[in-house]
A = this chain, B = another copy of it.
Amino acid sequence: MSVAASSSAKSAVPRDTQRIYSIAELSREFAITARTIRFYEDEGLIKPRRQGMTRLYSVGDRTRLSWILRGKRLGFSLAEIRELLDLYQVDRTGVQQLRELLRRSQLHIADLERKRADLDQHINEFREVESQVSAELRQRGVDPESD
Does A49 touch B at the CB level, under 8 Å?
Answer: no
A60-77 vs B, Cβ < 8 Å mask (1 yes, 0 no): 000000000011111110
Does A33 touch B at the CB level, under 8 Å?
Answer: no
Contact, CB under 8 Å: B119 / A105: no
Copies of this chain per assembly: 2
Contact, CB under 8 Å: B75 / A73: yes
Secondary structure call for the A interface: helix
CA distance A113 to B122 in the complex (A): 10
Among B72, B76, B102, the residue within 8 A (CB) of A137 is B102
Does A112 touch B at the CB level, under 8 Å?
Answer: yes
Contact, CB under 8 Å: B140 / A102: no
8 contacts across the A-B interface (CB closer than 8 A): A72-B75, A98-B133, A98-B136, A98-B137, A101-B129, A101-B133, A102-B134, A108-B126
Mark A residues whose CB is within 8 Å of B. 70-76, 87-88, 92, 95, 98-99, 101-102, 105-106, 108-109, 112-113, 115-116, 118-123, 126-127, 129-130, 133-134, 136-137, 140, 142, 144
Nearest 4 interchain pairs by C-beta? A75-B75, A102-B133, A105-B130, A112-B123
